[in-house]
């Protein structure tokens, strides 16, 4: 774990020091709190932003490319593979993906592989193919090559659920320096804290970066039920069982006449 953290720190340092900063990003999110209520069916958040010269006198260097990476709370998930054993399909092999984002959206104004060269993308972890998804391999952790079947299956399954996505149309430039990014929040979005990384490119190089954050929270009744189930399991079970008896009794009273 420490090795990953160190690598990340080095990358952050390098990229911060790398490009001569001539631009500054100013972003604003339409809503920093997504409330999951009983009628929640998904939502779309909008991130607005402008590109400002920094310092003010430096000339801007359009055209620009923009990548917004949204990451949800970290989870550990297991990808399992079925194989045929004596005629039936059984989960045989599995890999654990450690501390990977439960939600990952890579939004850009054009396909990420046309924005910068593969090395830069890899270094900055831009795009689903380049994002670090560490697996437990034996006693070691590592992100494998991008065409590893378990990694591919993992990304594909998460994409099918709408939790991972890469969109090259989600970011639109309203003027050469004003942009808008649509962040989709599907109905099954996990609750927790989300990080938003905004990266600006010009001529294939990182020009500026900034970040923002948002929270997805269960509110009211949903929160209450989820907390009760987790913290007071026994009581929660007893209440559910009582509810079953009550409804069963009600029905027999209502229909007893005939």
Partner 1 sequence: MQIYLPIADLPVNVFLVLGMGLAVGYISGMFGIGGGFLMTPLLIFIGISPAVSVATVSSHIAASSFTGALSYWRKRAVDIALALMLLSAGILGTATGVWLFTELRALDQLDLVIGISYVTLLTVVGAMMIYESVRAILRTRHGMPATLRRPGSHTWLHGLPFKLRFKRSKIYVSAIPVWAIGFIIGFIGAIMGIGGGFLLVPMLIYFLRVPTATVIGTSMVLTLVTMASATVMHAATNHLVDAVLALILMVGGVIGAQFGARTGQKMRGERLRLLLGLLVFAVGCRFAYELVVKPDDLFSLRYVRSE
Beta carbon nearer to partner 1, 63 or 248: 248
Query: Which two tokens mark 174?
Result: 């309203």
Residue 123 to residue 112: CA distance in whole angstroms: 13
| Residues lying near partner 1 in the complex (CB under 8 A) | 36-41, 73-84, 87-91, 94, 96, 99, 102, 150, 153-154, 156-158, 187-188, 190, 192, 218, 221-223, 225-226, 229-230, 233-234, 236-241, 243-245, 247-252, 255-256
CA-wise closest residue to 68 among 25, 34, 100, 102: 25
Q: How far is the CB of 153 from partner 1 (least distance, A)?
A: 4
Beta carbon nearer to partner 1, 60 or 132: 132
Which residues does 27 contact at the CB level (< 8 Å), separation at least 6? 47, 48, 49, 198, 210, 212
The phi-psi region of residue 162 (left if phi > 0; otherwise alpha if psi is between -120 and 50; otherwise beta) is left
Q: How far is the CB of 36 from partner 1 (least distance, A)?
A: 6
Beta carbon nearer to partner 1, 145 or 245: 245
Residue 219 to residue 94: CA distance in whole angstroms: 35
Beta carbon nearer to partner 1, 10 or 225: 225
Q: Angle at CA 202, nearest 5°, toward 213 and 71?
A: 20
What H or E segment, with its residue span, contains residue 141? strand 140-142
Local structure of 198: helix, strand or coil: strand
Q: How far is the CB of 45 from partner 1 (least distance, A)?
A: 18
Beta carbon nearer to partner 1, 13 or 90: 90
Beta carbon nearer to partner 1, 150 or 201: 150
Query: Which two tokens mark 81?
Result: 């593979």
Q: With the C-alpha atoms ordered 60, 66, 70, 71, is the resulting torsion angle positive or negative?
A: negative
Q: How far is the CB of 13 from partner 1 (least distance, A)?
A: 24
Q: How far is the CB of 58 from partner 1 (least distance, A)?
A: 41
Q: How far is the CB of 42 from partner 1 (least distance, A)?
A: 8
């Amino acid at each position: 774990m420490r090795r990953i953290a160190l690598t990340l720190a080095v990358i952050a340092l390098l990229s911060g020091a790398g490009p001569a900063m001539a631009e500054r990003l100013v972003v604003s999110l339409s809503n920093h709190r997504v409330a999951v209520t009983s009628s929640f069916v998904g939502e779309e958040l909008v991130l607005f932003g402008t590109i400002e010269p920094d310092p003010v006198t430096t000339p801007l260097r359009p055209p620009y490319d923009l990548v917004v990476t949204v990451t949800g709370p970290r989870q550990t998930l297991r990808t399992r593979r079925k194989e045929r054993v004596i005629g039936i399909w059984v989960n045989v092999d599995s890999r654990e993906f450690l501390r990977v984002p439960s939600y990952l959206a890579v939004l850009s104004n054009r396909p990420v592989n046309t924005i910068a060269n593969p090395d830069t993308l890899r270094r900055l972890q831009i795009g689903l193919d380049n994002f670090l998804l560490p697996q437990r391999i034996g006693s070691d952790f590592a992100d494998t090559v991008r065409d590893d079947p378990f990694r591919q299956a993992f990304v594909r399954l998460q994409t099918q659920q709408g939790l991972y996505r890469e969109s090259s149309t989600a970011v639109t430039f309203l003027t050469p320096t004003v942009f808008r990014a649509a962040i989709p929040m599907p109905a099954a979005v996990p609750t927790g804290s989300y990080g938003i990384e905004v990266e600006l490119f010009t001529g294939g190089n990182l020009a500026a970066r900034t970040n923002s954050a948002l929270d997805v929270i269960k509110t009211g009744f949903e929160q209450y039920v989820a907390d009760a189930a987790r913290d007071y399991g026994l009581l929660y079970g007893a209440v559910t069982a009582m509810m079953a008896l009550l409804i069963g009794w009600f029905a027999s009273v209502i229909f007893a006449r005939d």
